[in-house]
Chain A
Amino acid sequence: MVSFTVNHTPVDISGADDKPLLWALREDLGLPGAKYGCGIAQCGACRVLIDGESVPSCSVMVGNLAGASILTIEGLPGPDGTLSLVQRAWIDEQVPQCGFCQPGFIVAATALLAQNPNPTDAEIDEAITNICRCGTYPRIRRAIHRAAATISQS
């Protein structure tokens, strides 16, 4: 049995040490916000925060997560459901088109801004490597800058 927390709630998972976290979240924990897009850590649609770091959950096995603290897209809003600052920026810039990949982008941007609250375009380019087939990149960049501006004002 492996014990860790997901969105601040303790979970125990048995007999699934070789199962990727992505599928444990989607199938066992009822958290489908992280998406399966490629299964080979290329697209980032499955990104979650593991101890604050943005990681493609398709490529992390449950067996390696003992004691980890995991946040998914569902865990980003506050306890009262208030959207995180990054999620808010995503709405203000009307980023999503189909929206399937956006949880992964929001998670990646959340990790970036936690580490670097005012990233340059070059730093955004370096940090955000997810794929969006709809091509929302210009708005993703704007939303990250908007979220950064909100951080600097608060």
Chain B
Amino acid sequence: MSRIISRRGFLLTGAAIGGTALVAAVGGVGYLATVDVDGLDGFLDGDRAVLNAFLTIHDDGRVVVQVPRAEMGQGIHTGLAMVVAEELDIPFDDRISVEFPTEAHPAYATWFNVLQVRPEEASGPVVWAGRRVLGLLGFISTGASSSTMSLWHPMRVAGASARQMLIGAGAARLGVASSELSTGDGFVRHEASGRSLSYGELAREAAILSPAADPALKPATDWQVIGTRQARVDVPAKVRGEPVFGMDVAMPGMLHATIRHAPVFGAQVARIVNEADVRTQPGVLDVTIINGRQVAIVADSWWRAEQAAWQLDVEWTGTADDGASSADFSRSLRAALDVTAPYENLDEGDAATVIGSNTASVVEASYEVPFVAHACMEPINATVIVREDGSAEGWVPSQGPVNIRVGIGTGAGWAGVEPTSITCNVLMNGGAFGRRSDQDVVAQAAFLAARHRGRPVKLIWSREEDVSRGLFRSHAAARLRAALGPDGLPLAYEAIVAAQSIIQSVASRNLPFNPGPDGDRLTVEGLDKLHYAIPSRRVRSQNVPSHMPIGLWRSNGFSFNTFFTESFIDECALAAGADPLDYRRALLRENPRHLAVLDRVAVMAGWGTPMAPGRGRGIAIEECYQSVVAQVAEVTIAEDGEITVDQIFCAIDVGLVVNPDAVAAQMEGGIIFGVTTALMSAITIDAGAVVESNFHDFPMQRLHNAPEVVVEIVESDLPPGGAGEPGIVPVAGAIANAIHNATGRRLRSLPLAVTETIGERRTRSVLRA
């Protein structure tokens, strides 16, 4: 059956839902147990042949892969395009480019993250209904290291299905059976007659054929693209300095805006004392209060808007948190570790009784981490237009169109405008790390755009607004206890973490509901150590709300809990008189996957070889994002306490690897991100407000103090795991353990060092007194 379809876009939800429902009705309940992939229908759109929701082929043979995940530096546009190219049977060369689709096709929905089911394993009515709902809602976002896991299978199928359609078109054109045709290098070939047709020539005829219901996928042994090192598709433009980021958006008639938030979160604008003066500043077109909480200045240039903003004298309302300080937060967290009824996350066996009856062998330690900022290199920004006809469009470096759409609706709503349609353009993210999954800046820009109908408004937060008025990773504290048996290994393990709930804070700003403690996996991830063989286990948590807005932050709970737990396991090992590697090996005896990663990193680092005085080595391992990652840090502590992280060795089992260079890059970069956090990062609160404001007082590792990083990928038979976040997870624990190894000092809170400034842009890290 062939169908002629010519229309501007996919008939979105109706077709997908209707089609699936029809198949379900015909196939009966059995259908609900099968695996399927949405979005395989094609259509024609001008000179584009849309083969399916993931793939367009132009007449000249150019292949455009639609990747509905934000490129924020992790290389996902390349990885998922490689998967399509593999099944399409075309080399990964410059015929292939990538676009983030502006249409919210249900096939793009990020249901994997919510349902926690891999698409290749998805079955059953609950998953079926969940995907449909999330697809209808247009829940398309990038995060949780999930993009390869969520899309590699659907996009393989999309590539294979398109290849079948191209073969079908070739068979019709050549008047031969499909079975006589082969593909290669972007051509359909008929070996018997020597005739061949390019994909570009066939695409229009292919796009209107019915897709194969269940196209055969290439066996892994035939792969020529997946698993090979491929150069990233986005790199050339970035090296040329082309305008690919949200901050680079330029349009005719565009207005520029800057913003000032209250120093104390929760305060409102009482009045703008000198509004009349500020309005007369050069270039200023508008001074306005957004939703009662921020002051924005709109001008003909961002520089002029920002100059005027420095002149602003705003009176803010008082709040109950005007006296809050980091010391207060710390006391609240420590007190919360002793609450009588914490949230009960996990119980295996009776850990409390075992610990209570083995008091002589109990190891106990408390740990703490401060708030930290994301500090993406591209400051927070969004460009929005609300046109005279009521339609709205946003151009945002965002982790997903869902944030843009919701943000535009929210912000336009503040101005009393309900957009008739919203188009979302997801641009390159100049770093994201969870920060760009919030709707905040989009809503603010949309409010301004609704006030200035017909003109695009680009709102940029200054770096100072980003560091001191933005979103943060939670401040967190934990107390860990273990009762060691006669062999030194834990009989029972107990952990409680007190922190401001990540997801409840995120939900309060972005979702119409609050999932409560039952829905907060993020704050306790990394605490349960399920991969360690421990007979009894008890995990508790306590939400400690504050006025600080918490955002998703690269590796979330793992970023603190793995520091806590891997430091603690080291403390247990040393209490038992065991080598930290041997101790972990014993605890991982039932987990060959973890053992292989641990052993690999130990070999890489030469674990056990002697080190010079003042030097130390520390190890840590975690299972996260369906990957297993282990690291060894080597540090040197100088006589005056200066800490140098010389080297970090990293072994990772990330399951199936699509682009090994991208995995290595994520480990390298994640590790350096983690070293910054471990040694240097703290957001401190005084008089209710954030003290730090820019890179001079929220410093980062730079080239001169970044460690050497050595990465090895462990071969794996498992499907793909996540790679964006695992790299940072073990870093702080490995460094703290190395510092103890070098000095005998156990540091139980981050940052591990004091940062001293030496010269204009150089810093050094000195062991805390």
Taking beta carbons and an 8 Å cutoff, which residues of A are in contact with B? 19-20, 23, 27, 30, 32-45, 72-74, 77, 83, 87, 90-91, 94-103, 106, 124-126, 128-141
Contacts and interface: CB of A to CB of B under 8 A. Distances in A.
What are the nearest 6 A-B pairs in CB distance? Answer: A33-B241, A135-B672, A100-B430, A99-B238, A97-B73, A73-B241
Nearest to B78: A94
B613 interface: no
Contact of A36 (B75, B379, B668): B379
A124 to B, nearest CB: 7
Question: Which of A30, A43, A106, A140 has the most CB atoms of chain B within a 10 A radius of its CB?
Answer: A43
Interface stretch (B370-378, B506-514, B526-534, B712-720): B370-378
Contact of A138 (B377, B378, B668): B668
A42 B701 contact: no
A77 B240 CA distance: 8
A125 B762 CA distance: 10
Given A37-B379, A87-B240, 12 more contacts: A36-B460, A38-B463, A42-B694, A94-B232, A98-B377, A98-B378, A98-B429, A125-B703, A128-B703, A129-B760, A133-B700, A135-B668
Contacts of A124: 703
B665 A102 contact: no
Contacts of A37: 377-379, 463, 695
A101 B377 contact: yes
B665 A99 contact: no
Contacts of B671: 135
Interface in B239-274: 239-245, 247-248, 250, 256
Contacts of A87: 239-240
B232 A36 contact: no
A106 B460 CA distance: 25
Given A32-B250, A98-B429, A134 B708 contact: no
B467 to A, nearest CB: 9
B236 interface: yes
- Looking at A23, A39, A133, the one whose CB has the most chain B CB atoms below 10 A away is A133
B669 A136 contact: yes
B673 A135 contact: yes
A135 B701 contact: yes
A100 to B, nearest CB: 3
Interface string B668-707: 1111110010000000000000000011100011111010
A108 B367 CA distance: 41
A100 B431 contact: yes
B301 A103 contact: no
Contacts of B103: none
A141 B703 CA distance: 8
B517 to A, nearest CB: 32
Contacts of A74: 240-241
B20 to A, nearest CB: 37
Contacts, number: 176
A136 B463 CA distance: 21
A131 B378 contact: no
B706 A42 contact: no
Contacts of A138: 668, 672, 706, 708-709
Contacts of A125: 703-704
Contacts of A73: 240-241
Contact of A129 (B231, B240, B243, B702): B702
A98 B428 contact: yes
A131 B248 contact: no
Nearest to B727: A135
Contacts of B525: none
Given A90-B239, A103-B241, A35 B696 contact: no
Contacts of A135: 668-673, 676, 701, 706
A34 B378 CA distance: 12
B599 interface: no
B379 A99 contact: no
B243 A32 contact: yes
B69 to A, nearest CB: 14
Nearest to B668: A138
B761 interface: yes
Contact of A83 (B75, B239, B709): B239
Given A43-B695, A134-B669, A27 B301 contact: yes
Contacts of B379: 36-37
A99 B234 contact: yes
A102 B239 contact: yes
A106 B239 contact: yes
Contact of A132 (B302, B377, B463): B377
Nearest to A33: B241
B74 interface: yes
A129 B700 CA distance: 11
B492 interface: no
B239 to A, nearest CB: 5
Contacts of A141: 703
Contacts of B250: 30, 32
A28 to B, nearest CB: 8
A87 B238 CA distance: 10
A124 B705 CA distance: 12
A107 B680 CA distance: 27
Contacts of A139: 665, 668
A100 B241 contact: no
B345 interface: no
Residue from B241, B668, B676 whose CB has the most chain A CB atoms within 10 Å: B241
A91 B236 contact: yes
Contacts of B239: 83, 87, 90-91, 95-96, 99, 102, 106
A62 B42 CA distance: 53
Interface string B705-748: 01011000000000000000000000000000000000000000
Contacts of B706: 135, 137-138
A36 B460 CA distance: 10
Max chain B CB contacts within 10 Å: which of A42, A77, A87, A91? A42
Interface string B416-439: 000000000000111111000000
5 contacts: A42-B695, A100-B245, A133-B433, A134-B73, A135-B706
A147 B762 CA distance: 25
B520 interface: no
A21 B16 CA distance: 52
B368 to A, nearest CB: 24
A122 B248 CA distance: 34
A126 B704 CA distance: 7
B45 interface: no
B766 to A, nearest CB: 18
Contacts of B702: 128-131, 137
A20 B703 contact: no
